[in-house]
Structures are given as structure tokens and as C-alpha cells.
Amino acid sequence: MSGTTSDAKPRGLDGVVAAQTRMSHVDGQNGVLIIGGYELKELAGKVTFEEAAHLLWKGRLPSKEEKDELTRAIATQRALPVNTLEVVREAAKKGAPPIDALRMACATLSLDLRNPNDISPGADFDNAKMLVARFPTIIAAHTRLLAGQEPIAPRADLSLAANFLYMIFGKEPDPIAAKALDVYWVTVIDHGMNASTFAARVIASTRSDMVSAITGAIGALKGPLHGGAPGPVLDMLLDIKSADNAEPWVRNELAAGRRIMGFGHRVYKVRDPRAEVLSAVAEEMGGAVLHDKHLFDLAREVERTVLRVLDDVKPGRNLKTNVEFYTALVLQSLGLQPSTFVAMFACGRCAGWAAHVIEQHAEDHLIRPMSEYIGPRGLTVPR
């Protein structure tokens, strides 16, 4: 074999099946996302985030009794240990972004475990509940500390999403706002063998613990090639300013060879099914809970313009609205800052990561791919 890279070798494991899983299936050609046997549209808005988590962790939707028990178990674990809150305070003091604060804080959560190295099914299930419970508390505490405010203690009588909004804003959230956030978290709970999920499974395959695996997943999600660009979507809207400016702005960006944020997807060749779900959420919010109605209305006009111009300039490319566009629209409508968007995504994806760790621990097989050496050979050390 020559010392040059072979074009036949997949880059980044593209097209390589790395695992078998019952968690989710992404059909990019037909725009279908299956979560635990259900199409996304069958789950989002119809089951709570806790129910969707149970589906992934246990392989089925819970009974009413199981749902109530799981919801209570998660609600009672929302408060942060002292050591974790200290890390969150220090991260805020240093101005660390929310996703970095979440990564650092997550690593400390093993200090609160009786046996942090236990990877038995029971321990994994308990740790999954604990992580899902505390991720929103970490983000809420960090957000308030960055704003010069003290964190608000969680309430066990609110849903996970409602409690997060309460901890951010200090008041009972509008039910439509809480439902919107809950649907968002269900929508992003799992999505095939993406980079952060693969990172979590690789770590778990070494028989490392769940907290370590999910800490690694957060590190993978932080990278802009994976964490997405919902923040820049808002930057785009603010730059466009008005519906009249949309078409010339978009055509200028395309002429300069720049990507239009929130459109197109590496996997989906048709409309992202998650965008379909969040579009409906945004419509419902549009008539109720909005922190910036002008920006919301502008986004809908920009979306229509971008789709029309992309079809004209890049015919056949099928560059449709993706989940990032509606993530930006929904989360900003809740009054959240773009800097928190990736960490908010992690709050939903945490349940999926945990499910993959459970699955990988049960498989108990080390993930150890091969690499192809393309460096020189036969070198000698000068004497």
C-alpha cells in the first residue's frame, strides 16, 4: 500500500456502522426520525420529557404509576451539591460559557455518588435520573450568576421544564412556555450516532462510569461542527433587520460563498422532522408567550424568503429549514440568551446519552477501531 491517503477510505467514519442500537433511527432521505420505535411526531407534544426518557432507558413508555414515580424521583434530585455549585460560581466568575460550566459541573457530580464507578443497570438508571435532574439546575444557576443574581432553589412541584424557567426568571412560568420547552427537549432527546453520542459510547465501552461518559459527550457537543448554530441564526436575523432586506441579504451571502445558518443538513435531504415539530411549537407560542414579537415575525418572513432563494440559486440541493432555525426561534421566544442554546440542547440530549451508556454497558464490548498509517517509513536518527 502506498503512503498516500486512499480516496476509498471514509473520512470521519462516514457511512460506517459503528453500533447497533434501539434508541433512534435517522432516515435522511425521507425525513423520518424514529425514537424508540415511534416517529418523532408521535411523541413530541404527546408525551412528557420524563416519559420519553423512560422510553429510551427502559425500552417502553411508562405506565401512569411508573411515570409518576420517575417524575418524583427526578424532581427530588434537582438541587445541586455544594461542590458542584461552587464550580458553577467559579465558572460564572471567570465568564465561562454555559456549555463549559455544564461540562465542569457535570464532572463534579460523581462526588455525590456512593460508588461512582458502579456501572450496574441499577446504578446507571439512578445516575441517568440524577443527571437529567441537575443539568437544568446547573444552567439556571450559571445564567443567574452571570447576570449578578443569586441562583434560585429548584421546586419539586413543577415539571422539569417549568422548574427550569422558574429558576431562570423567578416566577411561575406560563404553561405554554413550559410546554414549549418540554417539547423541545423531547425533540432533541436522541438523533442517531452523532459525535457526542459516539463519544459517550466509546467512553462507556471501556467500562468507565456514566458521569465520565456524559462529561465527555458534553465536550464533543461543545465543538461548533456538532453543537450547531442556533445562536448565529439570531445574529442573521438581527443583521437582516426587516423583511424587505431578506432577499438581497441572502443573495449576497450566497454569492460570497457563505452558508445560510439554520438551513440544510448533513443527513437530511428533505425537511428536518425536528423542524416540523418545532415549527408547530413556534406557531403556538406566537400567539401567547413572546419576549420579542418583532424578531419572531421577522424569522417567519426570512424563512420563506431563504427557502425560495435557495431553490433558485441552488436547485436540486434540497436545502430546507433545519432544527437549528427553530431552536433559535423557540428558545429566544422563551427569553433565553443565545449563549445558553447549546447547553439547553444538552439538557434534552442528556437523556439520550444516558440511554446509550446503558446500552453500551450492557453490550460490554470495547470500541477500538483501526487506523491507517499514512506517515513515512524507514527513517533513521542522525548520529
pLDDT digits 0-9 by tens, 34-70: 999 999 999 999 999 999 999 999 999 999 999 999 9
In the chain the domains, ranked by start, together with CATH numbers, are 48-186+193-227+342-363 (1.10.580.10), 230-333 (1.10.230.10)
With cut-offs at 50, 70 and 90, classify the pLDDT of residue 14.
confident
Cell numbers that stand for 103 in this block: 461540562
With cut-offs at 50, 70 and 90, classify the pLDDT of residue 367.
very high
Q: How many CB atoms lie within 10 A of CB 114?
A: 7
State the pLDDT at residue 2: 39
With cut-offs at 50, 70 and 90, classify the pLDDT of residue 3.
very low
Burial class (CB in 10 A: 0-12, 13-18, 19+), 150: exposed
Please give the C-alpha separations between residue 315 and each of 17, 311, 379, in angstroms, as whole numbers. 31, 5, 51
Residue 267 pLDDT > 80, yes or no? no
**Chain mean pLDDT for the chain:** 90
Strand partners, 27: 32
With cut-offs at 50, 70 and 90, classify the pLDDT of residue 280.
confident
Say which residues have a Cβ less than 8 Å from residue 88's Cβ, sequence separation at least 6: 80, 101, 105, 138, 141, 142, 145, 151
Q: Is 361 a catalytic residue?
A: no
Please give the C-alpha separations between residue 17 and each of 14, 193, 201, in angstroms, as whole numbers. 9, 9, 14
Residue that has been written with the C-alpha cell 404553561 in this structure: 175
With cut-offs at 50, 70 and 90, classify the pLDDT of residue 306.
very high
| pTM, entire model | 0.90
Cell numbers that stand for 383 in this block: 548520529
Cα angle: 180, vertex 181, 184; to 5 degrees: 90
Annotated catalytic residue, options 253, 276, 303, 324: 324
Q: Is 324 a catalytic residue?
A: yes
Which of 237-241, 255-259, 276-280, 287-291 is predicted with the least confidence, judged by mean pLDDT? 287-291
Spatial separation of the C-alpha atoms in residues 261 and 263, rounded to whole Å: 6
Residue 330 pLDDT > 80, yes or no? yes
Spatial separation of the C-alpha atoms in residues 242 and 232, rounded to whole Å: 17
pLDDT, tens digit, 9 for 90 and up, residues 133-170: 999 999 999 999 999 999 999 999 999 999 999 999 99
Annotated catalytic residue, options 142, 265, 356, 361: 265
- Across the range 77-82, mean pLDDT stands at 98
| Helix, coil or strand: residue 44 | strand
Least Cα distance to 346 among 76, 45, 101 occurs for: 101
36 close to 62: Cβ distance less than 8 angstroms:
no
44 close to 277: Cβ distance less than 8 angstroms:
yes
With cut-offs at 50, 70 and 90, classify the pLDDT of residue 4.
very low
Residue 9 pLDDT > 80, yes or no? no
State the pLDDT at residue 264: 78
